[in-house]
Amino acid sequence: MKNKWFLLTKIQLISLLGVNKAKYTTDLATKKRMIATVVAIVLVGIVLIGYVAMMAFAFCEQGLGMHLPATTIALASLVTLLFSFLNGCSSLFAMKDYDLVMSLPVRKRDVIASRLACIYLADLAFAAAIVIPALIVLFAADGFSLAALAVSLAGMIFAPILPIIVAVALSALFTALTAGFRYKAILQGILGMAAFIGVMAASFSVSFSAGSEEMIDMNALFGMLVGGVYPPALLIEMTLAGEVWAIFVFIGASLAVGAFFVFVLSKGYDRIHTALTARGGRAGYRAKDVKSGSAFAALTRKEFRRLFTSPVYLLNGLCGAVLLLIAGVALLCFDVRSLLAAEELPAGFEAGMVYTGAGLLFFFLGTSCPSAAALSLEGQAKDQLFVLPLSSRTVLLAKAFPTFLIDVLAGLPVAAIFCARMGADAWGWGLLLAGAPVISAFVALFGIWLNARFPRYDWTSETQVVKQSIPMMIAVFVSMGIGALLSVFSFVVGPWAALIALCTCAIATALLYRWTGRAKLI
């Protein structure tokens, strides 16, 4: 059969998106999960399109519309590079169905090409959400240009190839270099966290520059993205300037690098897979006394080991807590009250800022929710867990406890720092110090409740559960939304908004705890 890579790509996409299961199943919950997935993707797309449209308006307003095609290609390529690297190389090398796929009568290069095609299509959708809205704004402001349309679409189609290849190669190299380390997952997680923090720092720096100036200098943004961060996008700029050959160089280089990467991998795919899927480093065996303990303690230790042996899980589980701790350190280094006093702000602005702390805690702690993926990560091993003579409450609370502990250990010290540096009154101290554990408990139980309602045990890559699952997306976006609204209402209304929100949160936590006693694990 010809074009086997195309058939493999089709099968893998259908499996990843759950199309067949949702189409033919009679289970209503499965259909609801599919609908929720589509809704979540649409909402994320709307937010991204809105952000890109605002950027494009700023370019056109400053008379720099001709730089938009190259800038959007550079932005899409940069984000593809970063997120492909953070996702790691498991989608290409360490899939759970590796043995099954390799037993099929297909060539290795067909397998590699199909998996790269799936990654490419996901990144192409992201690139389209950046390039197309910017083009629409450009044509509305400066008039239609066939050259800009053709070059932008060609660049959009071929732009993800080079970043994907570089990101996968770097991720595989780093994974291979750390394969012999006993704590390789922690090291990989730290590197991923550093990259994530770097992205956030760059984003905040742009935001602060926007606040300090009347308008961001889009020409400087163009120079940073195209000239400094992603030079291949200069070929897009050169094409629109009249050098038609440049776009063919861009396309040819992308295709050549992709073909060479597939050819090289096909020669040593088995060895690379074996090296990258090796577990833990060597360690000498030491006999230890057997210690007795409760089932809850044993399950909790198991959850912590699972968290700290998966770089993707660790990065997503700790990102919000780490950002919150970084914010706390920043509060210690900078006198926010003096900065606020130096600005001409309305009366009561500083006092209102104090009560936004509860919303900020909710916003950041809600993005650290490993419990939203804890059940699904059991995979096919769930049957071994669920047949144990343990109550559902013991299992669910053990799954949720790492989330609670991580969030409360990050939330309490930052809450104290925030109150001290912002000069909070008794209301502020009480609300934030009591709010940190309440919010942490709610986030942990809310995550495990979502995971129990929408489990996914048939995953082939951890990324599907940790980054792309419905429970994780709902937990993160709902927490961020609640946190943002709570910050606004607390600033306007005062401590009563935070008090009502925390009381509601405590009641919801109690109801979720009661649910753990009668939940059915399936």
- For residue 512, the model assigns a pLDDT of 94
Q: Would you kindly state where each structural domain of the chain is located, as residue ranges?
A: 17-276, 296-516
- Residues 220-276: pLDDT tens digits? 777 777 877 788 888 888 898 888 898 999 999 999 988 888 787 777 777 666 666
- For residue 514, the model assigns a pLDDT of 92
Q: How far apart are CA 449 and CA 518, in angstroms?
A: 12
8 A C-beta contact, residue 460 and residue 310: no
- For residue 192, the model assigns a pLDDT of 63
All residues at 6 or more sequence positions from 199 whose CB lies less than 8 Å from its CB, including other chains = 82
Q: What is the dihedral of CA 139, 142, 144, 147, to 10 degrees?
A: -100
| DSSP for 15-30, written as a single string | HHHTHHHHHH---HHH
- Dig out the tokens for 287 from the structure: 């006999």
- For residue 462, the model assigns a pLDDT of 77
- For residue 215, the model assigns a pLDDT of 47
- Return the SS3 of 96: coil
For the chain, which residues score pLDDT lower than 70?
A: 1-6, 11, 13-27, 29-30, 32-33, 36-37, 40, 86-103, 174-217, 271-293, 335-352
- For residue 201, the model assigns a pLDDT of 57
Q: What is the dihedral of CA 204, 206, 209, 211, to 10 degrees?
A: -70
Q: How far apart are CA 327 and CA 98, in angstroms?
A: 42
- For residue 106, the model assigns a pLDDT of 74
- For residue 9, the model assigns a pLDDT of 73
CA atoms within 13 A on the CB side of 513: 10
Among 483, 478, 502, which Cα is nearest to 364's?
A: 483
8 A C-beta contact, residue 107 and residue 186: no
Among 314, 311, 321, 75, which Cα is nearest to 202's?
A: 75
Give the type of residue at 198.
G
Query: Is 386 buried (19+), middle (13-18) or exposed (0-12) by CB count in 10 A?
Result: middle
- For residue 207, the model assigns a pLDDT of 45
